[in-house]
Structure 1
Amino acid sequence: MKNKLTHIELFAGCGGMSLGLDSAGFELFFANELSPMAGETFAYNILNENLSSLSKEKKNASKSLWIKSNYPENDLENRLRENPFSTSIGKFSDLDKNINLKEKLLIGNIDHLLDFLDNNPKIVKELKAKNIDLVSGGPPCQSFSLAGRREKNNHKNQLPLSFARFAGLVKPKTVLLENVKGITAPFTEADEEGKHKYYAWLEVSKAFALEGYVPVCMMLNSKYFGVPQNRPRFILQAYRKDVFTKLKKLQAKNEILLTSEKFYNLVITNKHNLENITEKDFKYYDIENNSELFDGIILPKKSHLNNDFITTNDAIEDIKNTSVTYELNKTNGQYANSINAIFSHDLNNSIQIKNHEIRNHNFLVKSRFRFYQVIEQFQNGLKKGATDLFTGKDISKDLLNKLMVEFSKHELLFINNGKEISKVPKNIEVVETLIKSIPTRKHSQRALRKLEPAPAQLTIPDDLCHYDTNEPRTLTVREMARFQSFPDWYEFRSKVTTGGDMRKFEVPQYTQVGNAVPPLLAKAIGETIKKHLNEIL
């Protein structure tokens, strides 16, 4: 068996999956990503290509190729800010029949890539001949069904099918699909015959089975794999039928494999009546409910248990003072030093840790964040009472008295003659007056809990604030990246944040980090797949 396995990354994002798979022993053949903004980060860190510098120098990219664009290859400046949903009529392309795809990032729509492959069977033949070990990616799947009746004009509903179709063309040994927990929730489609309930995870499993892959499905949580984040994720591992057959010979009585084989045969037998196959005919394994199965035999092995999860304090305490310039591997964080060692990088000199700039907040925002930080420490269910007080709900006198006991233990942030002052409120009326002066319509905001893993919602920076009362602020991109298990040398590129209508197509740094697959999680899954391939090939 070769030491380095090969993989193709679809829906590559900023590179979290590729970074983790590389550490697990997979060598990237090529990648595809829709967004040029996320692609810029991927190219910089994974392929060592600085698209921003090339743009300023008016040079062409050599490793990052546009499948379609409205701009020529010598106009990188506009390409990097291009709306990827506007390229269907783009007349420029960097792909031709003689293209060498090795170590390339293909920026653009996967369906445009599939069109290119359909028109170039020689390239498809060459890809098949390479016997790629793994194709991985995370397409949006939440409302996907093979029936395809719901939101027909929503292109996202077809992306899982595009992923499966790509696997059917290239025929890798294995497939890895990652998605949010929501993929397991049922959704309803309506037509002239009535309403129909579907499960996207099941429909995706059928799609890969139709392409000749036997799926194994699971619900993981990143916190069990050393990631300081409570992040549930659906994972589908699928094995090409001949590969699965060899794996099953080694594990003939394994119930997980037997269940997957039964489902695969059912899909093949009923491929013209797939609606007859329901959630009762297949299952996914939840790490919370089927913990004993995550032992590394078929499903990834847990590395952390409830009593040793990595916390937010472990992840970011060593870089909380944003007035300090931190250098790589020179902080006191044991967790940071660990991930920097796992995902090592050739750096001749010490470098400044990037993406750690704070956002400017006015008094209203800082005072509000301080309030969230304080009430996060309240005990005996009083946090809800404080939240109700903040949102204007009626509070009983007895509860107000109990709340005041808690508030008297903490300093809130006030303003007096234009100067910000931290002080303990004298009475509940002072608290209520402060609350009225810092109103918000956004009640999803909260402070991090210092001694727990971070929550999964990381794409919108204003939803979370730091746990330290001396730091009433949102998290920096670097702190968010720590929660996702990115090493400190990994630099996020393009805009930091965005807003308005541009949210529809721009993927700034915060979104790149929040949408990424945690590299430590990808590493754990990749090591399991590599073990299986090494055992049978």
Structure 2
Amino acid sequence: MGKKKLKHIELFAGCGGMSLGLESDGYDLYFANELSPMAGETFAYNILGETLENNTNPKKTLWLKSQFKKKEIANRLRENPFEASEGKYSDIDKNTSLKGKLLIGDINILLNLLKKTPELVEEIKNEDIDLISGGPPCQSFSLAGLREKDNHKNTLPASFAQIAGMIQPKTVLLENVKGITSPFTEDGKKYYAWLEVSKAFVLEGFVPVCMMLNSKYFGVPQNRPRFILTAYRKDVFDKIFKKFPNSKILKTSEGFYNNVLANRENLINVTVKDFKYYDIESNPELFDGEILPKITHFERDFINTSEAIGDIRRPERSYVFDNTKGKYANLLNSTFPKYLYNGCIIKNHEQRNHSFIIKSRFRFYQVIEQFQNGLKKGASDLFTGKEVSEEIRIKLLDEFSHHRLLFFSNENNRDALLFPKDIDEIETLIKSIPTKKHSQRALKEFEPAPAQLTIPDDLCHYDSEQTRTLTVREMARFQSFPDWFEFKSKVTTGGKMRRFEVPQYTQVGNAVPPLLAKILGETVRKQLKLILLY
């Protein structure tokens, strides 16, 4: 007998990382909501099986609001979502079934729709939703800050909590960046966004459990810290607590829940001293699969960069799905299978064109990433024009002499990897490849990738023959997407368009890693199974 299907709703759905991971553990998507039509195009294609390009009458993808008619799909897919909110066209009314749909548009429009349409809320509640998940921007959220009506982002976590309160799923899952745990000041008072978000869910009838995870502990080849809040509807929490009556984690959560309700009229009395989140780095023993998700990988077996992308490191070649040599890739493709894709060429693996200056600079980063004993800083100082002592210069020359740098030969009119002759030659090369960006670096071949994967120019490949940025497909591997998952819309963007466009690189970087989502889904399922005979 297979697993019982659990029903979930995905808010802030992005390109579909969370939904893909949950789907692999037997969760059925009831409906999803995403602000960006660009990310929504990827979600619709991969999760719902619906192509939006040139589709003038999509059945599964509906716009909450748009300035364009349904048949004007090309304009809708490139529309500024913040301007769309003022549009006069909508694909949804009180008779629309949301089942199996992706709703494109602002979550506050969805919230208002639900408030005005109680029959729609009743229809959703009758589905007995098991989980609502999502990752709203939360870094400066405070319940007090909701007075700032002009701060759109400040309302998003509250809107998420209100929708959960209306629908009353058994559990809620919220994912966010590590920055949510850093304090911020508002009106002279110090707030912690993670704590404020936790309060918001208590006020809607949920008991939160908070944690700081890192994707590398769950088989994702990326050093990616993420804040996770799992909140249980109070009656569900009580049943789980009965199964684990000695759990200090659950005791702390219950105490926080009661404290918030007791101070409902003066929430500022509930401070960071009254609650806590559990950090996987500090307390790995708590991540045993009962309340907190179970660790699957430890430092000795973290998946590294080479294992993640080494089998597709030559993008000029065409790689066939499920026919690469990578064990990690094969694991992803078997964990998230799509058999109809067998024999197809892997997509989103086009490399970007770079000038000699950029390629030579990337090679410099590749080399100094291997330096030890403080010489990496010395090399960086040399590169940025800072004063470097004669002693360090001698050591640097000795170190550089073992590595080939990328030089350009006017004689042959081509670039070549050559060993430098002396420190002056190195300095001359460095002066010819200046940059204002100091966040750039090369991947380390035998370590997980760093967390910054949203801006493609910040990272370059580790291979000396690949002096380039990563392809979208390589970044997707680091996020644990299978090779069949195809990213739609434009590849990258710039300038003012960055304010609202979500191109492929950003879609990947913002996504919840499907492997992590799968683990989180398994943990929720296990807890519900204990109390509900799932």
The TM-score, its normalising length taken from structure 2, stands at: 0.98
| Alpha-carbon offset, residue 85 of structure 1 | 0.5
Question: 1:415-426 maps to which residues of 2 (within 5 A)?
Answer: 415-417=408-410, 418-426=413-421
- 2:106 matched residue in structure 1: 109
- 1:132 matched residue in structure 2: 129
Q: Structure 2 CA distance, aligned partners of 1:149 and 1:326?
A: 50
| Alpha-carbon offset, residue 444 of structure 1 | 0.6
Q: Which AA in structure 2 matches 1:247?
A: I
Instruction: Tell me if 1:268 matches 2:246.
Output: no
SS at match of 1:454: coil
Describe the superposition over 1:421-471 as per-residue Cα deviations: whole angstroms up to 9, x where unpaired.
221110000000001011000011000000000000000000000001110
SS at match of 1:374: helix
- 1:13 matched residue in structure 2: 14
How many aligned positions are there? 529
Q: Structure 2 CA distance, aligned partners of 1:111 and 1:340?
A: 36
| Alpha-carbon offset, residue 2 of structure 1 | 7.1
Gaps of 5+ in 1: none
Question: 1:238-317 maps to which residues of 2 (within 5 A)?
Answer: 238-317=231-310
- 1:427 matched residue in structure 2: 422
The answer (yes or no) to whether the contact 1:150–1:189 under 8 Å persists in 2 is no
| Alpha-carbon offset, residue 154 of structure 1 | 2.1
SS at match of 1:6: strand
Gaps of 5+ in 2: none
How high is the sequence identity, in percent, across the aligned residues? 68
- 1:509 matched residue in structure 2: 504
- 2:180 matched residue in structure 1: 183
SS at match of 1:141: coil
| Alpha-carbon offset, residue 88 of structure 1 | 2.4
Q: Which AA in structure 2 matches 1:249?
A: K
- 2:479 matched residue in structure 1: 484
Q: Which AA in structure 2 matches 1:408?
A: S
SS at match of 2:339: coil
Instruction: Tell me if 1:450 matches 2:445.
Output: yes
- 2:401 matched residue in structure 1: 408
| Alpha-carbon offset, residue 381 of structure 1 | 1.4
The answer (yes or no) to whether the contact 1:69–1:87 under 8 Å persists in 2 is yes
Q: Structure 2 CA distance, aligned partners of 1:180 and 1:150?
A: 24
Q: Structure 1 CA distance, aligned partners of 2:446 and 2:162?
A: 44
- 1:47 matched residue in structure 2: 48
| Alpha-carbon offset, residue 157 of structure 1 | 1.3
Describe the superposition over 1:279-325 as per-residue Cα deviations: whole angstroms up to 9, x where unpaired.
00000000000110000010000000010000001000000011210
| Alpha-carbon offset, residue 153 of structure 1 | 2.2
SS at match of 1:220: strand
SS at match of 2:515: helix
Q: Structure 2 CA distance, aligned partners of 1:5 and 1:204?
A: 25
Instruction: Tell me if 1:202 matches 2:195.
Output: yes
Q: Structure 2 CA distance, aligned partners of 1:164 and 1:18?
A: 19
SS at match of 1:506: coil
The answer (yes or no) to whether the contact 2:322–2:342 under 8 Å persists in 1 is no
| Alpha-carbon offset, residue 252 of structure 1 | 1.0
Q: Structure 2 CA distance, aligned partners of 1:247 and 1:522?
A: 21
Q: Structure 2 CA distance, aligned partners of 1:6 and 1:81?
A: 31
Instruction: Tell me if 1:345 matches 2:331.
Output: no
Instruction: Tell me if 1:323 matches 2:324.
Output: no
Q: Structure 2 CA distance, aligned partners of 1:284 and 1:376?
A: 34
Q: Which AA in structure 2 matches 1:34?
A: L
Q: Which AA in structure 2 matches 1:536?
A: I
The TM-score, its normalising length taken from structure 1, stands at: 0.97
Describe the superposition over 1:18-72 as per-residue Cα deviations: whole angstroms up to 9, x where unpaired.
0001112211000000000000000000000011142xxxx31110000000001
- Match among 119, 123, 126 for residue 120 of structure 2: 123
Q: Structure 1 CA distance, aligned partners of 2:530 and 2:216?
A: 28
Distance 1:317 1:85, change over 3 A: same
The answer (yes or no) to whether the contact 2:252–2:275 under 8 Å persists in 1 is yes
Describe the superposition over 1:389-425 as per-residue Cα deviations: whole angstroms up to 9, x where unpaired.
0000000111000000011001111112232122111
Question: 1:71-220 maps to which residues of 2 (within 5 A)?
Answer: 71-148=68-145, 152-190=149-187, 195-220=188-213
